[in-house]
Structure formats: structure tokens, C-alpha cells
Copies of this chain bind each other. A is one copy, B any other.
Amino acid sequence: MTDGPCCAPIAREPLGEADAAELATLLKAVADPVRLRLLSMIGSHAGGEACVCDLTDAFDLTAPTISHHLKVLRTAGLIDGERRGTWVYYRIIPKQVARLGALFTPLAEPVSA
């Protein structure tokens, strides 16, 4: 590693089987264009939360399809939803998003082997 940022936690020590399986599940939840867009729409919405009605309107997809994708994100612990009146309102769970970031973010100080 002679150039570029060094070393993200993923490159600090070999991942064990159990950790790798759990992280792969979390990554699969975000490895989809619609779910990435949903996540960014929810997180960037005024007040940090978005009504399912706003989300569905933004896509050329059926409501059940959007619901499926929201469920995947929710099951992965990346978003949480709360019903208020007619609609469910979603917000990001920052801790789980930050976990993904930490895996791939280089340390400021390179770690020697």
C-alpha cells in the first residue's frame, strides 16, 4: 500500500467467517439501486424522516414493491418506521449506517503490520 489512504478496517486483519456472514447480509440490504435511493431520500428529507407516501410517489414502482424494499432496509436495522395516522414515517438509524462506513473507511494513521 504505497499510495492512497491506508488501511480501512477491512484491510487491518482477516475477517472471521461469522463477521463476514453478518456484514455480507447488511451489505446485501444496501446493494440495490432502489434501496440506496430510498435510504438517501429518507435521510435527506426535511426533519430526517419521510412519509411512505412521498417515497412511493418518487418511483415508477408499485406500492407493494416499495414496501418490500423498505422492509429489507428495516429488517437490516438501517431504518425504522412509525405509523402516525394513515401513513408510516421512516427515518435512518445512523448507528447501523455508520457501521458500514467504518468498515471501509481508512484510518488517518496508517497501521503497520
Q: Which residues of A contact B (CB under 8 A)?
A: 1-8, 10-15, 17, 20-21, 23-24, 27-28, 30-37, 39-44, 46-48, 58, 91-95, 97-106, 113
Contacts and interface: CB of A to CB of B under 8 A. Distances in A.
22 contacts: A5-B95, A6-B94, A7-B94, A8-B94, A8-B98, A11-B40, A11-B92, A11-B97, A12-B43, A14-B40, A15-B36, A24-B32, A27-B31, A28-B31, A31-B31, A98-B105, A100-B104, A101-B101, A101-B103, A101-B104, A101-B105, A105-B105
Contact of A11 (B5, B17, B43): B43
A4 B43 CA distance: 13
A13 B40 CA distance: 6
B113 A106 contact: no
Q: Would you call the interface of chain A mostly helix, strand, loop, or mixed?
A: helix
A24 B15 contact: no
Q: How many copies does the complex hold?
A: 2
B23 A36 contact: yes
